[in-house]
């Protein structure tokens, strides 16, 4: 990804000045897209905002960097990118504990609760060296030392004494640009910079007098400013902050969300408020327990916050119905109704296996019908070998794998008994030729002490064909070693008996 490039490379690109307000609007557009679950649109906006952040003419305040990191985290959650999620979450969490742009019951909160923020790292013996009387801002906060949290990204902006941006880049952890490092005493704060009491933000810089009332980022301050100057220069930004701060202070309950929507029917946080209401309704639907209630909910909110969860519920219920029925028609019905279902591939395999069971051993016409419906099925090779008349009488058994010797010996004994019972001659002496070879591989799957679980594969090859005559895999459930050996035997026997149709 582009933001992993070396900072020096990023600085070499031409960068036209960009107003802070336009950058903030772009991030807000991305948030609205995420609220409406338009993930692709949100990703496009966030990618662009991240790229042009280094072009912004002013210091990007810490709260805006935090909001951007929160949206990147939410994007990574929807894209199921765990590594990217944790990387951006560390930055967002390290910049404050303000409300996140999603409902309180959103599953992302479960991930955030388990993320640890690493301690900051520094470049030993070095200080930051901005242009004379200028300043280096890390994530919106002026800094005199090269200190940053590893395992995440940081926005570094460098300004001269006249507040003109010199360069900026996204930094990986504490990997500072070497041109910003020096030895000696730390630099003084840039001219006009008023360091906040808690050192938390870079936004308390000599503000425009009329805007001073709202610079503490408090709801009352913004409202007071709007009361005095409803058409003032900063009125649009003040209205956005009133909206956001109101939502941040609103209880994430049905009553709170309804109250917010009444006050801000077209508010910036409308999607989040509607998500809260949908969450309450979805819980009631689940408590109701009926499939019809879930279908009605999905019909009302086909693109809602909980639409995906509702579809998963319906998908799982349809799969359980197919499993309980257990017929080929039931699995086919599931595949038709849920072409993107979580169990589509399982249903296909189960349907394939049942179709082969219905054809195997019932003559040429039944096998031809199977191949007609399942030309790429899991048993197609075996079916075609049967139709091609590939047969054998003598067979050699080879057993290997990572399972214990007792399991391999058990597999060899079962294979010998079943093949001889089907009329085959098992060749065991070295040097004697055989018409076919049965390779059984028994691999051990670790499940714990005194437990056994094996993945067993069977491959039959005949001398007259380059392709395997038959292939099958058997996966056992974990059990005690004694029971696992019995399960191995029970699984092998029916598969070995099916080879009887190839006896010459």
Listing DSSP states for 302-365 in one string gives TTSTTHHHHHHHHHHHHHHHHHHH-SHHHHHHHHHH-TT-TTHHHHHHHHHHHHHHHHTTS-HH
Q: Residue 486 has what pLDDT?
A: 92
Let me know how long the chain is.
504
pLDDT in tens, the chain (504 residues): 434 333 433 344 457 788 888 899 999 999 998 888 888 888 999 999 999 999 998 899 999 999 999 999 999 988 888 888 899 999 999 998 778 988 877 888 888 888 888 888 888 888 898 888 889 999 999 988 899 998 899 999 998 887 788 889 999 998 999 899 988 778 888 876 654 544 444 443 433 334 555 556 688 888 888 888 888 777 887 888 889 889 989 998 999 999 999 999 988 888 888 889 988 988 998 888 889 999 999 898 888 888 888 899 999 999 999 999 999 999 999 999 999 988 999 999 999 999 988 888 788 898 899 999 999 998 888 888 888 888 889 999 999 999 999 999 999 999 999 999 999 999 998 888 899 999 999 999 887 777 888 899 999 998 877 788 888 888 888 889 889 899 999 999 998 998 888 888
Q: Which residue has the tokens 């807000």?
A: 28
SS3 159: strand
Q: Phi and psi at residue 193, in whole multiples of 5°?
A: -90, 125
Phi, psi for residue 122 in degrees, rounded to 5? -135, 165
CATH topology of domain 390-502: Rossmann fold (3.40.50)
* Separation CA 444–CA 402 (nearest Å): 5
| Per-residue pLDDT, 3 | 40
The CA distance from 202 to 194, in Å, is 8
Q: How far is CA 388 from the centre of its chain?
A: 47
8 A C-beta contact, residue 273 and residue 249: no
Q: Where in the chain is the domain with CATH 3.40.50.10610?
A: 390-502
Nearest Cα to Cα of residue 269 among 244, 306, 250, 249:
244
> CB of 121 within 8 A of CB of 174?
yes
Query: In the structure encoding, which two tokens stand for residue 211, read together?
Result: 């805007």
Residue 231's pLDDT is: 82
Enumerate the H helices of 99-192 as residue ranges. 108-112
Q: Report the pLDDT value the prediction gives residue 204, as an integer from 0 to 100.
A: 39
Partners of 56 in beta bridges: 18
- 317's tokens: 């219920």
- Predicted local distance difference test score (pLDDT) of residue 203: 41
- Tell me what pLDDT residue 216 has: 62
Residue 397 confidence (pLDDT): 94
Pairwise CA distance, residues 291 & 426, whole Å: 56
- Whether the pTM exceeds 0.75: the reply is no
């Amino acid at each position: 990804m582009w933001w992993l490039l070396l900072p020096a490379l990023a600085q070499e690109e031409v960068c036209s000045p960009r107003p802070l307000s336009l950058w903030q609007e772009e991030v807000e557009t991305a948030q609205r897209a995420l609220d409406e679950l338009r993930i692709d649109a949100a990703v496009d906006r966030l990618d662009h905002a991240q790229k042009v952040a280094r072009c912004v003419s002013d210091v990007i305040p810490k709260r805006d960097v935090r909001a951007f990191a929160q949206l990147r985290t939410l994007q990574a959650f929807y894209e199921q990118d765990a590594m990217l999620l944790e990387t951006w979450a560390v930055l967002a969490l390290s910049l404050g504990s303000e409300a996140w742009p999603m409902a309180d019951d959103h599953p992302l909160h479960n991930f955030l609760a388990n993320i640890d923020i690493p301690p900051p790292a520094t470049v030993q013996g070095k200080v930051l060296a901005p242009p004379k009387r200028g300043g280096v801002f890390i994530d919106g906060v002026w800094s005199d030392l090269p200190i940053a949290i590893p395992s995440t990204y940081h926005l570094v902006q460098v300004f001269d004494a006249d507040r003109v941006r010199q360069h900026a880049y996204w930094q990986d952890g504490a990997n500072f640009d070497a041109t910003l490092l020096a030895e000696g005493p730390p630099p003084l704060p840039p001219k006009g910079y008023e360091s906040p009491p808690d050192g938390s933000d870079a936004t308390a810089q000599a503000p425009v007098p009329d805007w001073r009332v709202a610079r503490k980022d408090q709801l009352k301050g913004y409202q007071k400013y709007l009361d005095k100057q409803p058409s003032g220069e900063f009125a649009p930004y003040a209205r956005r902050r009133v909206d956001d701060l109101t939502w941040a202070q609103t209880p994430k309950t049905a009553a709170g969300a309804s109250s917010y929507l009444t006050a801000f029917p077209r508010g910036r946080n409308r999607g989040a408020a509607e998500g809260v209401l949908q969450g309450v309704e979805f819980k009631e639907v689940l408590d109701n327990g009926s499939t019809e209630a879930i279908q009605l909910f999905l019909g009302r909110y086909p693109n809602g916050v909980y639409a995906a969860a509702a579809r998963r519920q319906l998908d799982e219920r349809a799969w359980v119905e197919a499993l309980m029925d257990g017929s080929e028609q039931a699995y086919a019905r599931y595949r038709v109704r849920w072409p993107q279902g979580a169990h589509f591939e399982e249903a296909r395999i189960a349907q394939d296996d049942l179709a082969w069971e219905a054809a195997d051993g019932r003559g040429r016409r039944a096998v031809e019908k199977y191949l007609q419906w399942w030309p790429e099925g899991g048993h197609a090779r075996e079916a075609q070998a049967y139709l091609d008349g590939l047969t054998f009488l003598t067979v050699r058994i080879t057993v290997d794998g990572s399972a214990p010797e007792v399991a391999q010996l058990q597999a060899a004994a079962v294979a010998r008994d079943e093949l001889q019972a089907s009329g085959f001659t098992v060749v065991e002496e070295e040097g004697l030729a055989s018409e076919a070879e049965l390779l059984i591989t028994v691999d051990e799957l670790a499940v714990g002490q005194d437990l056994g679980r094996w993945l067993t594969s069977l491959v039959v090859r005949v001398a007259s064909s380059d392709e395997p005559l038959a292939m099958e895999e058997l996966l056992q459930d974990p059990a005690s070693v004694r029971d696992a050996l019995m399960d191995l035997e029970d699984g092998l026997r029916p598969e070995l008996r099916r080879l009887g149709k190839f006896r010459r």
